[in-house]
Amino acid sequence: MSEASIPYKENGSTQDFSTALAAALKDAARSGVKFSAGGSDLEWERFNAHPFDGEEEGRRDSLLAFESDPVVERSPGEPDGTSRLSYFLDGVQTTEEIGRIGTVPVVMTTVAAAIAHRADRRLHRLDVPGVPTLMRALILPHDAHDPGARALYSAAQEQGFPVPVSDAEAVTSGSENVLLDSTQHEPHLDPADYSGLKQRAYQRASSLRAAMEVALLERWSQMETGDSWIAVDGQLPAPTENAVGLIKNARKFFFGGEEARMLLDLEAGKRTTAFVPPWRNERMKAGRAEEERASWYVRMWPASASSEGADATSGLIRVETNVPFSRQSETFDEISRWILAEKAPLARPDLRWASMIYPIHYVEKILKPTIHGGRRTRLKLEREIADLK
């Protein structure tokens, strides 16, 4: 999708994202805001640490084991080549700093998400009405109380950027270009905390992408899909029947000691017994029924099968799903066999192929070209900022 094909309409006028943002930058500069051009790719800065990482350390006592305590290795049985996973959901994003106002980063993001449907052994993108295929956002810390950031925020509003109350509203608003406040839920953030502000901006971009994925999943759940299931890349974002989340980065353990050693020694084609990660167990105890879901690990390939630089977690994925607890082991085994049946074709040339099923790789492959325009937009806007007087 080209940059020109992503119009923004306000009061009958049409502007693309970069044109509207360039005009806002000029308006803010005329009001006295001083900009510094240049920035960084926030994806490379790895601001995507899991928000519960700090709470999970040493929390084995709050882990709920469904099938076996302690968690142990289990054989799900040999896959027969069939899988009821017929739909596959994934999202991608680019998040980039295009300049600064003193210590305040000016950040833009491009996010996209899609569902692929497999029928007659062929994958194609599923048309899901009501969810944009791509969104762009300007992200600023309005509530950090920095005068320059607030001036640009106001200038962007004047140029017609809508300000949604939530990410969910942003996705359903019909606007493909929005203005987001990275400090909406943390109004007392220090405007001099440059690194912290970039982290909050990255998290807000990820939240927008997650909202697109939730919207897609919710609309999929309303479709007539028979007994087919959907596989979601990453944690399952919403409680949905016939859905599994596939977490390919399994480096974060939820238990230690002999259980951790068992996990690293897990043979290909085997799984662990199911459990509830600590934070979900605590939410479930607090009455949040939407968190009642099971999780377990599956070893798809031997760790030695992956590329150079892989460790003992290579080929290991964590699975999440909502299931009737009365069918625990039977259901977990069946889902594990479906996942193991997805080992072919390989998700190459992706370096994560040993922990990724091919249909998820396919969705990423069709989405990534649609967000490359964000990089071109960044360079264009950096030149605009450099030219501001």
Q: Enumerate the H helices of the chain as residue ranges.
A: 17-30, 53-56, 147-158, 167-172, 194-221, 257-264, 278-285, 328-341, 358-371, 373-387
Helix-strand-coil percent breakdown of the chain, rounded to 5? 35, 25, 40
Listing DSSP states for 189-255 in one string gives --TT-HHHHHHHHHHHHHHHHHHHHHHHHHHHHTS--TT-EEEEESS--S--TTEEEEE----S-S-
> Which CA distances in Å does 81 have to 74, 339, 344?
20, 10, 9
Residue with tokens 């290579």: 314
Q: List the chain pLDDT tens, one digit each, 389 residues.
A: 333 333 333 333 335 888 999 999 999 999 999 999 888 888 877 555 443 333 333 345 557 777 888 899 999 999 998 999 999 999 999 999 999 999 999 999 999 999 999 999 899 999 999 999 999 999 999 888 899 999 999 999 999 999 999 999 999 988 899 999 998 877 677 888 999 999 999 999 999 999 999 999 999 999 999 999 999 999 888 888 899 999 987 777 788 889 989 999 999 999 999 988 776 666 666 666 555 678 999 999 998 876 656 788 889 999 999 876 566 889 999 999 999 999 989 888 888 888 899 999 999 999 999 887 767 787 888 888 888 86
Q: Report in angstroms the alpha-carbon separations of 26 from 13, 20, 115, 276.
A: 19, 10, 39, 51
Strand partners, 202: none
Task: Count Cβ atoms within 10 A of the Cβ of residue 110 and give its class: 0-12 exposed, 13-18 middle, 19 or more buried.
Answer: buried
Distance CA(13)–CA(215), nearest Å, equals: 28
Do the Cβ atoms of 5 and 11 come closer than 8 Å?
no
Q: What letter does residue 288 receive in the DSSP assignment?
A: -
Q: Which of 235, 206, 224 is nearest to 89 (CA)?
A: 235
Quote the tokens at residue 122: 């062929």
CA atoms 298, 301, 307, 312: torsion sign: positive
The identity of residue 142, as a single letter, is H
All structural domains of the chain with their residue ranges: 1-58+92-226+367-389, 63-84+228-356
Residue type, 380: K
pTM of the model: 0.88
Q: Are 133 and 1 in contact (CB under 8 A)?
A: yes
